[in-house]
């Protein structure tokens, strides 16, 4: 099964790779393959068009493996299935606010993926509470506010690739 999961920001992706395995795994190549694939988890992958969060069904594509003369590593062709976090423009999601500034809020999606909402100052006004912490308040309804810990609904405007991950740039839709 490959493709997006129903109502999800995740996709199942079947992939094939040629991996360079350290010679210490010569007696157990599968252990070396699993170690190599595990290092791919939670890092953006151009080949997978997202961030792999899990893998399974690991198989050797060929029975023969080559040892590199220069590096001494073992080249192994493998296939496996990845669960990939792959949000796209227009997707809606819920995140928990982790930072409030005068211009934007930052949030985490599923306690893992970082996003920002830069247009929130256009919709809500910023105020400071009794302890001096910033929060956004809806001018039409003072009971609706956004502060650290608030669950917010956002729509993804763009997905930016940053070092080892992605940045979700979003439009604020409301409090979840």
31-83 pLDDT, tens digit per residue, is 999 999 999 999 999 999 999 999 999 999 987 776 766 778 898 999 999 99
Q: What is the mean pLDDT of residues 108-137?
A: 84
Q: Read off the pLDDT band of 175 (50, 70, 90).
A: confident
Q: Read off the pLDDT band of 21 (50, 70, 90).
A: very high
For residue 75, give the nearest of 41, 25, 39 by alpha carbon. 25
* Res 1 pLDDT > 60: no
Residue 36 has a pLDDT of 96
CB 51 within 8 A of CB 45: yes
* Res 4 pLDDT > 60: no
Structural domains in the chain?
3-85 (3.30.1490.120), 92-175 (2.40.50.1060)
CB 106 within 8 A of CB 74: no
Q: Nearest 5 degrees, angle CA 82-CA 87-CA 92?
A: 135
Residue 164 has a pLDDT of 67
CA 112, distance to chain mean position in Å, is 7
Supply the DSSP string of 65-123, one letter for each residue: -EE-TTT--EEEEEEEEEEEE---TT-EEEEEEEEE-SS-EEEEETTTEEEEETTHHHH
Residue 71 has a pLDDT of 72
Supply the DSSP string of 153-166, one letter for each residue: EEEEEEEEEETTEE
Residue 84 has a pLDDT of 95
* Res 5 pLDDT > 60: no
Q: CA neighbours within 13 Å on the CB side: how many for 83?
A: 8
């Amino acid at each position: 099964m490959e493709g997006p999961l129903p109502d999800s920001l995740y996709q199942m992706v079947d992939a094939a790779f040629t991996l360079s395995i350290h010679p210490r795994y010569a007696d157990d190549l599968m252990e070396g393959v699993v170690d190599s694939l595990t290092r791919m988890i939670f890092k953006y992958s151009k080949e997978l068009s997202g961030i792999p969060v899990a893998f399974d069904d690991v198989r050797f594509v060929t029975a023969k493996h080559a040892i590199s003369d220069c590096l001494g590593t073992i080249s192994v062709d493998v296939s496996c299935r990845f669960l990939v976090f792959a949000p796209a423009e227009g997707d809606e999601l819920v995140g928990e606010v982790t930072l409030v500034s005068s211009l934007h809020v930052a949030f985490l999606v599923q306690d893992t993926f970082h996003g920002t909402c830069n247009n929130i100052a256009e919709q809500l006004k910023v105020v400071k509470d009794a302890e001096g912490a910033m929060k956004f308040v809806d001018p039409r309804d003072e009971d609706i506010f956004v502060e650290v810990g608030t669950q917010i609904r956002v729509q993804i405007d763009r997905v930016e690739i940053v070092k080892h991950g992605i940045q979700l740039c979003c439009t604020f839709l409301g409090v979840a």
